[in-house]
Structures are given as C-alpha cells and as structure tokens.
Amino acid sequence: MIDRDGCNGRDGQRAASQEGSGAGGGVAEQRQNLMSVRLRVWRQKNLQDKGRFEEYEATRLTPDMSFLEMLDVLNEDLQRDGNEPIAFDSDCREGICGMCSLVIDGVPHGPGRGTTTCQIYLRSFADGATITIEPWRAGAFPVLRDLIVDRSAFDRIIAAGGYASVNTGSAADANASLISQARSEEAFDAAACIGCGACVATCKNASAMLFVSAKVKHLNMLPQGQPERRERTVAMLRAMDEEGFGHCTNEYECEAVCPKEISVEHIAFLNREYLRAQVIATGFRPVVTDE
Ligand code: SF4
Ligand code: FES
C-alpha cells in the first residue's frame, strides 16, 4: 500500500533506514532525523474503570515511522520497564480492515483526508509536539480497554440486513446480469466503507447513518440486492436505533473524517429508500420504484 506521500507503509521506515545506512555518512543523517513526541494517552483498565490520561515521552522516532509503529516502540519500552502496554486495535495496517481506530488530537483517524490511523506517518507532526490519543467516543461503542472499543453494534446492524440471501451463482454467472457502469460505480463507492466507525466517533449525535447508508446502498443498487431491498433498509435502520446510535442532522463531520471518503449523498439515498419502503408498506405501488 502506497501512502499519499509515496511511502510504502510499514516498509517505509525500513527502506529509509537502509538508505540512511548506505554510503555517504548515512548514520549521522539518520541521527539527525530522529524525533520525539509527548503523548497524552487514554488509559482505562476495563469497561467499569473511569479512565484517565497518562503522559509518555516517545523517543528514537523517525518521520517515516507510522503512527502505530510509534505505539509499538513505546509499548516495547513500557513492557521492558515492567509496565502495562497500551492496548489498541489494528490488523492490516494498509487502510483495508477498519480495525485501527484512534482519535488523534480530537480527530478520528488524525490528520489528513481519506486516511486511516494506520496510514498516518510521524512526518505529519512536529518534532517535540504533544499528541493526544483517545478511543472512539460513543455510547454504542463502549471502551473495553485503553484505546479499544467494542464495535459489535456494527456487526448486529449488518446481521439485520446487510446481506443478499438469493443464490447469485458462481463468478461466471455474474456476466449474465448486466449492470450499467454508473450503477456499478455507485455501488462500488458505497462498498468501500470499511466499517471503522470514525463517522460515529466524530458526530455530535453519534449517528451511524453514513455507515448504514453505505451498507444499504451497496446492496440496494445491485440486482442481487433487490429481493430484500425494502426489508433491508427498514431492518438496518431499526437495528441502528436499537443499538443507541443517533440520527443525522446534516453536520457533514462524518464525510470529513471518513477514510474512504463516503459521501453524505448516500444518507440522502438512504432516506429516500426508507420513505419508499414506508409508502410501499401501506399498499401503495409507485409507478417507478428504482433510482
Ligand atoms: S462510512 Fe467511512 S467512517 Fe463510517 S464506518 Fe464506513 S469507512 Fe468508516
Ligand atoms: S489496521 Fe486495517 S485499516 Fe488500519
């Protein structure tokens, strides 16, 4: 995965180190590039603990290290000194899985647009900066430990309708079902949602409408999603309500922090889908039912 500055993710630091140790006094150059930051990190033992900020000095860093590598280095230091490491989520570290979930200086996924926490590099911060790191803050995402929250509420919303139960055949059968370029691209844009929850974490209403709209639109735009189209829309919104997420009041904060730049236009689509499902439930049959 290439980040927006052309650095190869986790390997970027290694590549930079190799360059630095080559001919031409690389070691001195590497020393020059070392940086340190002061971290204010949310520590919380478990669900019941009230939690608090603790401060740490992270040293021996380079600008090409990823933000999560910095936490790895800090954790190694903490463990070596007999302290509890900081718990945080990550998996792919390539902007794909949606696991990484840190609020950095008040912004879910930190500085930069269209970027996950794992794609943030220390060159985005000044040497000596103080950086505040918190977990997602939302009632429906309880903090399990330190920076890890329980996002199983999203799984339950998906279980309520984020699937297609028709037999869609094998890969070869896909060619038999024609889908316009425009429609497939819209569905694909929606399918880019990685379920990270940043949209919820940034919204003053803790609304999950951007997430739900992406999941609904992804399936409702495609032929395979038509049999359950109405039920899916209603069931996923009902599940969202039951999980305690709020509703959209057009703040646009979700779109601003979404690492996949999911547009709030998807929420408008979701609202139309919901209205249509409610009207059809009354027995009324509109002449045109598709977008
Ligand atoms: S809509 Fe964006 S911010 Fe929300 S869960 Fe999906 S990828 Fe994350
Ligand atoms: S760790 Fe997978 S998206 Fe960040």
Would you write out the chain's pLDDT as a tens digit for each of its 291 residues? 333 333 334 434 433 443 444 444 455 555 557 999 999 999 999 999 999 999 999 998 999 999 999 999 999 999 999 999 999 999 999 999 999 999 999 999 999 899 999 999 999 999 999 999 999 999 999 999 999 999 999 999 999 999 999 888 888 888 888 899 999 999 999 999 999 999 999 999 999 999 999 999 999 999 999 999 999 999 999 999 999 999 999 999 999 999 999 999 999 999 999 999 999 888 877 665 555
Ligand nearest to the CA of 207: 1
Q: What does pTM read for this prediction?
A: 0.87
Domain interval for residue 77: 9-145
Mutation to probe ligand 2, out of 104, 109, 116 (largest number of atoms < 8 A from CB): 116
Q: How far apart are CA 108 and CA 116, in angstroms?
A: 9
Q: Which residues, at least 6 apart from 205, have a Cβ–Cβ distance to it below 8 Å?
A: 246, 247, 248, 249, 251
158 and 258, same domain (yes or no): yes
95 Cβ closer than 6 Å to some ligand 2 atom? yes
- In this structure, the answer to whether residues 107 and 156 fall within a common structural domain is no
Q: Both 139 and 204 in a single domain? A: no
Q: Are residues 97 and 212 in the same domain?
A: no
CATH of the domain at 70: 3.10.20.30
Both 50 and 79 in a single domain? yes
CA of 264 to the centre of ligand 1 (A): 11
Which residue among 262, 263, 264, 265 is best mutated to probe the pocket of ligand 1, counting the most ligand atoms within 8 A of its Cβ?
Answer: 262
CATH number of domain containing 210 = 1.10.1060.10
How far does residue 261's CA lie from ligand 1's centre (Å)? 8
Q: Are the CB atoms for 35 and 153 separated by under 8 Å?
A: no
Q: Measured in angstroms, how far is the CA atom of residue 117 from the centroid of ligand 1?
A: 13
- As for how many domains the chain has, the answer is 2
Q: Counting atoms of ligand 1 from 1, which one is nearest the CA of 196?
A: 8
